[in-house]
Amino acid sequence: DAGVIQSPRHEVTEMGQEVTLRCKPISGHNSLFWYRQTMMRGLELLIYFNNNVPIDDSGMPEDRFSAKMPNASFSTLKIQPSEPRDSAVYFCATNRDKISDEYGYTFGSGTRLTVV
């Protein structure tokens, strides 16, 4: 199993541009989470999906952020327009079951986003 695959690994963009981060979950994992990590705020849960349906998006900072999961194999996190304060490492994590965390989340390697 290749694990959770995120792309790109690094993204540098100019303020105002649209940014799309991608995640391919582990096959068979029903829950998918998007986290953001910064030095100041640590790891923040942005949104999570269960069976491709958004369950809780209360962590999404503002309307500039949107996330989709069109099928069980793919999710995107989009920022439009991007701002320098969005600079962070964005992680995607998946879990096989919403109810049981017996095996914990499996995290991807993250996307380091820099907005200049």
Partner 1 sequence: LAKTTQPISMDSYEGQEVNITCSHNNIATNDYITWYQQFPSQGPRFIIQGYKTKVTNEVASLFIPADRKSSTLSLPRVSLSDTAVYYCLGFNTNAGKSTFGDGTTLTVKP
Q: Which residues bind partner 1 (CB under 8 A)?
A: 4, 31, 33, 35, 42-45, 48, 50, 55-56, 91, 93, 98-110
The token pair at 28 is 């068979």
The token pair at 86 is 């969005």
Using the minimum distance from each CB to partner 1, give the nearer residue, 33 or 65. 33
**37 beta partners:** 43, 89
- As measured in angstroms, the least distance from the Cβ of 3 to partner 1 is 10
The Cα–Cα gap between 42 and 96 comes to: 24
The Cα–Cα gap between 116 and 98 comes to: 37
- As measured in angstroms, the least distance from the Cβ of 47 to partner 1 is 10
- As measured in angstroms, the least distance from the Cβ of 81 to partner 1 is 27
Using the minimum distance from each CB to partner 1, give the nearer residue, 25 or 110. 110
114 neighbors 15 (Cβ within 8 angstroms): no
- As measured in angstroms, the least distance from the Cβ of 79 to partner 1 is 19
Using the minimum distance from each CB to partner 1, give the nearer residue, 48 or 65. 48
DSSP annotation of 12? E
